């Protein structure tokens, strides 16, 4: 008789594509010369500046930062 073809579920295919893309992205990030810790610290500083500008009017200033690799608030 005829052999039935096995059709993969669409979510299974999408999951495979997502995993492949994540691995590719991880390899690119690892192999790049970008100083990610410095970039993240600069990003947090920029967000603090934006948050400070938005809260000065109400008298409340919330700042968050990185302290030797730990996010602010780590106990």
Q: What is the dihedral of CA 48, 51, 57, 59, to 10 degrees?
A: -60
- CB 66, CB 72: distance < 8 Å: yes
The number of CA neighbours under 13 Å toward the Cβ of 47 is 11
72 pLDDT above the threshold of 60: no
| Predicted confidence (pLDDT) per residue in 21-60, tens digit | 999 988 888 888 888 888 899 999 998 888 777 666 666 6
- Across the range 10-16, mean pLDDT stands at 95
Alpha-carbon distance of 51 to 62, in angstroms, equals 7
CA-nearest of 67, 65, 69, 73 to 44 is 65
Q: Residue 29: what pLDDT?
A: 81
């Amino acid at each position: 008789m005829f052999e039935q073809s096995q059709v993969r579920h669409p979510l299974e295919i999408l999951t495979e594509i997502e995993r492949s893309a994540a691995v590719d992205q991880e390899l690119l990030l690892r192999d790049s010369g970008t100083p990610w810790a410095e970039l993240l610290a600069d990003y947090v500083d920029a967000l603090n500046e934006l948050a400070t500008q938005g809260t000065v009017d109400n008298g409340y200033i919330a700042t968050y930062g990185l302290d030797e690799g730990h996010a602010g608030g780590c106990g």
